[in-house]
A and B are shown apart, each in its own frame.
Chain A
Amino acid sequence: MTARSRWLVLLAVCGIGLGILRNQHVLAWLSLTVLLWLFAEWLCFYWRLYVELPRLKIRRLINGRSDTSAFLWAGRKINITVEISTRNCTLGPVVLIRDCLPENLVVEDGVCETQLLSRFATAAFTYEARVCGAGAAVLPGYRITLQDAQGFFAAERFVPDEKRFRVLPAFANVSESQPIVKRINSLPQHGIHRLQRAGLGSELLELREYVPGDPPKSIAWKVSARRQTLMTRQYESEVPVRIVLFVDGSISARIGGFGCRLLDQMTFVAGSVARSAISVGDPVGAVLFDERGSRRIAPSGGDRGFYKLLEALSDFSTNPAPPPQRLSRALLAATLRLCGERHPELLDPRINQVPFTFRPFRPSKRRDRYQRSLVAAILAEAYGLSAPQLLELVHDDTMMANHAQQFLADAGVSWMDPLVQTRDRGFHDGMATMELLSQALADSVAHARDNEVYVIMANLLECATNISHVLPAIKMALARHHRVVFIVPTPTFRRPASSINTDSAVTLQSLLAQAQDLRTKELASRLQTALHRLGARVSLSGEAEAIRLVLSETALARNGRVTTAGAR
């Protein structure tokens, strides 16, 4: 019952009373007619709600297909069509149907809802949405608002129609610039590269003096005759180059909206590097590490290996249960909002009854307690809690905060306020990241073979001043003749400008952007100095430049050179 009808009922009752008492028949008749009319409309509305609405059939087509699970690509657009039909009846007159979207999908064209103001049997609406970031996208169902023609009664219902999608990370096709070292005599097998170190390949690397133990068939007889001493042919080595992608999934990399997380930059670089490397036959593996531990994906090649890697990156990008935090009003309000959107019928006070208590006395606190009780009941239903546990949820802040966080995370809410408080996380997260990275690097070196390229994508900007914690692990990797490249994502998704003109800034926003750029630049220069000293290469942000750097390092690893200039 809306406020509109409540007022009419009140006035009608008053009118009847006055009309009867004052013996004014038309006044009483008019008021009684209005009252009966509202009563009839109420009955009709209930008929629609309980008889006609369950007959509603809604079908969602994504890019013309109605599969319940599939995969999508981050950064690409999808076309969603929703078809509505009723079985052997019509529904109306005022129905608002909204397709509930997760945060990972953003409407680009059209609207994800339709208003049906007259009775209908079939209807449809189409819109275009963009997938923001890798991970998962769950379309939970539809929210339906039913109203009568005059707006006297309204009810909200949620029709579940869950569709779960795995979102694979985006990748770019970056053209690789291959330096030509020497004209090749024979083409090696796909994925096998001529490493310019001594080995058992078919290409000549160098001639050297004979050493006892050299195989007699490798003696270059003509050269030996010319020089009057035994000379041995040294052949090149032919080995595959393995690329291992280290992806940091710690808290600091996951904070932010989908598509704006540092993790999204890293998965983009990882996908692009993998695509490029696999296209030339290099096997690509990964080490995905976060607070939960690290997961190693063995290097593999081909399209199958590429998709396996992307699927692993997609699963890794799905936000896990967030770190626990204290209960705040904002967290509770966000949970209540989500409950209102996904479970409006469970917030009905006739269904979800809250016991009366005298305390708290203040109206605002009473309202808060009432809302908390409503939310607690829904959380108890969602997670199968008993009645005493429900009451515990109402009184225990920690338990309530944990369940509210879990509820929001399950619904696909990104790691931002109020789900995760981001203040004062920088330093501790940086230390944690370095510890995790060191551990993952040490494990990987232990499992590694020769000639691997380690592409480390981690949020190390915050720990540029304390980078010494991770240096032993890097030194160990370099000592084992692996190449190490660092890709450090930036909060702005781009490299800081080379020259920052502070005079040109006039707005607060541009000043803040410049301050951020200056800070990033300073931290990046510190980090680069420290890592360059060891022999590791560093690139900032997830731009094409970073991908090219990794590819050039891979090219160097293939031919065994130290630098592009040609020194071995």
Chain B
Amino acid sequence: MNRIPNHDSTHRSNDAVCWGSFYALTIVVSAMLFFPYVYSGSDFNPGPGLILLAITFLTIKRWTGAFLMVLCQTMLLLLEPQASHQQVFKHGLVWLALPVFLIMAVSRFRTLQERNPQTLRGVFAPVASFATNVAVPTSLVQNFGSAVVQLLRTGLLITGCSISAWIIMKMVPIGDADIGFSTLREFRLKASGYRLLILGLSIFVVYVLTWIAVTEISWRKLSPSQASIFLRSVFIKYYHRDLRMITLKRLKIRRKRARSIQPVSPDEFPAAVKGKT
């Protein structure tokens, strides 16, 4: 009994502190790396600068991964040159890695924050403890260890995803309009439209295949009650019109019959009963 760890609120808050700290660190690194891009040209461009400020300062309080995604995409849309396939954007890997890690960190942090709303206060606790030479709690150190392990695991997953994305993009005939057979000339497609079509189709095929596999597994794992409800509801869905008509008719007859049985008034009592009473 004593060997079983008891997951208390301290554990939860420490975990959140780890992820919050990582998130804050990612924001700082992002700001440092992307700052030169804002002032790279001869003219000052206020748009990316404002977005960068928003990413740096306004995300810690409320914003979620979706907001960060929008901001990063907007920055790329504004800053990335429209290049051919060979001309890869300078520091493209950094532009890829940092936003994804940022989204991962903020999503994880928000998930922990939902569980414990007080986590935001403790984000800078480790920094404060280092600054004031106060010993960092052992549990916090352990949590940092587990958080790093989880971070590495997710990092590996994201790396795998980015490599897969790169492979998929390589499969798409970007930049070379005459690649493969003469589809473009045959169907009078625009090059960009053709690329989009191929990419969308590839993703769709992968998704459908996986979806079929997952649905098959989940169907086989259904509990008897789930299967029973599914069958009953599908049966009703198919024969809904007929069954509904029968049911409503039956209810109507039942109500009519109930209404026809009126309470007997004293005047309608048989004479014999009246005599007895």
Write the residues of chain A forming the contact surface with B, with a CB cutoff of 8 angstroms.
4, 7-8, 11-12, 14-37, 39-41, 43-44, 46, 50, 54, 81, 83, 93-94, 96, 114-118, 120, 122-126, 147, 149-152, 343, 345-346, 348, 351-355, 357, 377-378, 380-381, 387-388, 390-392, 395-396
- A26-B247 contact given A16-B199, A33-B165, CB 8 Å threshold: no
Contact residue among B72, B160, B169 (Cβ-Cβ distance under 8 Å from A40): B160
The residue that B225 contacts in the complex, of A16, A122, A346, with Cβ under 8 A, is A346
B4 engages A117 (CB within 8 Å) = no
A520 vs B100: C-alpha distance in the bound complex, in angstroms? 69
Residues of B within 8 Å of A41, CB to CB, are 157
Looking at the assembled complex, report how far the CB atom of B191 sits from the nearest CB atom of chain A, in whole angstroms. Answer: 9
Given A125-B6, A388-B243, A50-B89 contact (CB < 8 Å): no
Chain B, residue nearest A385 (CB): B232
- Most A CB contacts (10 A, CB to CB) among B100, B111, B172 go to B111
Given pairs A29-B169, A37-B157, 14 additional interface contacts (CB within 8 A): A14-B73, A24-B81, A25-B88, A32-B165, A33-B96, A33-B161, A39-B161, A151-B108, A345-B223, A352-B229, A353-B230, A353-B237, A355-B240, A395-B251
CB contacts (< 8 Å) of B88 on chain A: these are 25-26
Which residues in A have their C-beta under 8 angstroms from that of B183? none
CB <8 Å contact, B82 and A351:
no
Contact A30 B72, beta carbon cutoff 8 Å:
yes
B232 touches A387 (CB 8 A): yes
Among candidates A15, A147, A387, A392, residue contacting B111 with C-beta atoms closer than 8 Å: A147
Q: Across the interface, do B66 and A11 meet the contact criterion of CB distance under 8 Å?
A: yes
Query: Do A352 and B111 form a contact, CB below 8 Å, given A11-B73, A28-B169, A29-B162?
Result: no
* B139 lies within 8 A of chain A by Cβ: no
Check A115 against B107 for contact (C-beta < 8 Å): no
Q: Please tell me which stretch of B28-36, B123-131, B213-221, B262-270 contacts chain A, meaning at least 4 of its Cβ atoms lie within 8 angstroms of it.
A: B213-221
* Interface: B92 (CB within 8 A): yes
Does B201 make an interface contact (CB < 8 A)?
no
Establish whether residues B95 and A118, one from each chain, have CB atoms under 8 Å apart when the complex forms. Answer: no
Let me know if B154 is at the binding interface, CB within 8 A.
Answer: yes
Contacts of B82 in A (CB 8 A): 22-24
Can you name the residue of chain A whose Cβ is closest to the Cβ of B5? A123
Q: What's the Cα separation between A117 and B158 when bound, in Å? A: 21
Are the CB atoms of B103 and A29 closer together than 8 Å?
Answer: no
- Residues of chain A within 8 A (CB-CB) of B210 are 39, 43
Q: Within residues 51 to 69 of chain B, which ones have a CB less than 8 A from any CB in chain A? A: 64-66, 69
Which has the most chain B C-beta neighbours within 10 Å: A34, A118, A345?
A34
How far apart are the CA atoms of A115 and B82 in the complex, in Å? 47
Q: How far is the CA of A378 from the CA of B226 in the complex (A)?
A: 10
The interface residues of chain A lying within 8 Å CB-to-CB of B223 are 345
Contact with A along B145-170 (1 / 0, CB 8 A): 01000100010011011101110110
Which chain B residue lies CB-closest to A151?
Answer: B111
Contact of B162 among A24, A33, A381 (CB under 8 A): A33
Q: Is the CB of A377 within 8 A of B233?
A: yes
CB within 8 Å for A31 and B158 given contacts A117-B12, A151-B114, A353-B230: no
B261 on the A face (CB < 8 A): no
Interface-central residue, A16, A30, A96, A343, by most chain B CB under 10 Å: A30
B228 on the A face (CB < 8 A): yes
Q: How far is B12's CA from A116's CA once the two chains are assembled, in angstroms? A: 8
B208 partner residues in chain A, CB cutoff 8 A: none
Write the chain A residue with the least CB distance to B143: A118
In B218-250, the 8 Å CB interface with A consists of 218, 221-223, 225-226, 228-230, 232-237, 240, 243-244, 246-248, 250
Bound CA span A148–B183, Å: 42
- A381 contacts B107, CB within 8 Å? no
- Shortest Cβ distance from B26 into chain A, in angstroms? 14
Chain B residues closer than 8 Å to A37, beta-carbon distance: 100, 157-158, 161
A351–B165 contact, CB under 8 A?
Answer: no
Question: Which of the residues A50, A96, A391 comes within 8 Å of B244, measured between beta carbons?
Answer: A391
- Whether a CB of chain A sits under 8 angstroms from the CB of B140 is no
Q: A149-B108, A346-B225 are in contact. Are A387 and B199 (CB under 8 A)?
A: no
B104 at interface, CB cutoff 8 A: yes
Residues of B at the A interface (CB closer than 8 Å) are 1, 3-7, 11-12, 15, 64-66, 69-70, 72-73, 76-77, 80-85, 88-89, 92, 95-96, 99-100, 103-104, 107-108, 110-112, 114-115, 146, 150, 154, 157-158, 160-162, 164-166, 168-169, 172, 174-175, 192-193, 195-196, 199, 203, 206-207, 210, 214, 217-218, 221-223, 225-226, 228-230, 232-237, 240, 243-244, 246-248, 250-251
9 closest residue pairs by CB, A with B: A150-B107, A7-B66, A151-B111, A32-B165, A36-B161, A355-B240, A353-B233, A124-B4, A27-B76
In Å, the complex CA distance between A446 and B122 comes to 76
A27 is contacted by which of B73, B207, B229 (Cβ under 8 Å)? B73
A25 to B84, CA, bound (A): 8
Question: Which residues of the other chain, B, contact A25 by a CB distance below 8 angstroms?
Answer: 80, 83, 85, 88-89, 92, 169, 174
Quick one: closest A residue to B158, CB to CB?
A: A37
Contact between B228 and A381, CB atoms less than 8 A apart: yes
Given contacts A37-B158, A147-B111, A43 and B83 within 8 Å (CB-CB): no
- Min distance, Cβ B144 to any Cβ of chain A, angstroms: 12
Q: Are A149 and B150 within 8 A (Cβ)?
A: yes
Once the chains bind, are B248 and A395 in contact (CB under 8 Å)?
Answer: yes
In the bound complex, what is the Cα–Cα distance between A116 and B146 (angstroms)? 13
Residues of B within 8 A of A351 (CB): 222, 226, 229-230, 233
Q: Can you list 23 contacts pairing A with B, beta carbon distance less than 8 Å?
A: A4-B64, A4-B66, A7-B64, A7-B65, A15-B69, A21-B193, A23-B175, A25-B88, A26-B92, A29-B165, A30-B95, A32-B203, A33-B158, A36-B165, A50-B217, A117-B115, A118-B146, A124-B4, A125-B6, A351-B233, A381-B229, A388-B247, A395-B247
Verify A11–B69 contact, CB threshold 8 A.
yes
B99 nearest CB neighbor, chain A only: A30
B153 to chain A, nearest CB (A): 9
Q: How far is the CA of A391 from the CA of B233 in the complex (A)?
A: 10
In the complex, the chain A residue whose C-beta lies closest to that of B75 is A27
Instruction: Give chain B residues whose Cβ lies under 8 Å from the Cβ of A81.
Output: 1
**Min CB distance, A20 to chain B, in Å?**
5
Question: Bound state CA distance, A83 and B63, in angstroms?
Answer: 37
| CB pair B196 A346 closer than 8 Å | no
Chain A neighbourhood of B195, CB < 8 A = 20
**Quick one: closest A residue to B95, CB to CB?**
A26
CB distance from B23 to the nearest CB of A (A): 12
- Using Cβ atoms and an 8 Å threshold, which residues of chain B touch A392? 247, 250-251
B247 touches A122 (CB 8 A): no
CB-based contact B192/A23 at 8 Å = yes
Of all chain B residues, the one with the shortest Cβ separation from A22 is B82
Query: Shortest Cβ distance from A53 into chain B, in angstroms?
Result: 10
Q: Determine if B4 and A24 form an interchain contact, defined as CB atoms under 8 angstroms apart.
A: no
- Give the most central of A12, A21, A54, A147: most B CB within 10 Å: A21
Give Cα A34–Cα B31 distance, bound, in whole angstroms.
21
- A95 CB, nearest partner CB in chain B, Å: 10
Contacts of B80 in A (CB 8 A): 24-27
B214:A46 contact, CB within 8 angstroms: yes
Report B205 CB to chain A, min CB distance, Å. Answer: 13
Contact in complex: A352, B150 (CB < 8 Å): no
In whole angstroms, what is the CA distance A346 to B233 when docked?
11
Residues of B within 8 A of A39 (CB): 161, 206-207, 210
- Enumerate chain A residues within 8 angstroms of B166, measured Cβ to Cβ: 29
Q: What separation, in Å, do the CA atoms of A354 and B163 have in the docked complex?
A: 42
- Is the CB–CB distance between A114 and B226 below 8 Å? no
- Kindly list chain B residues whose C-beta atoms are within 8 Å of the C-beta of A35: 165, 203
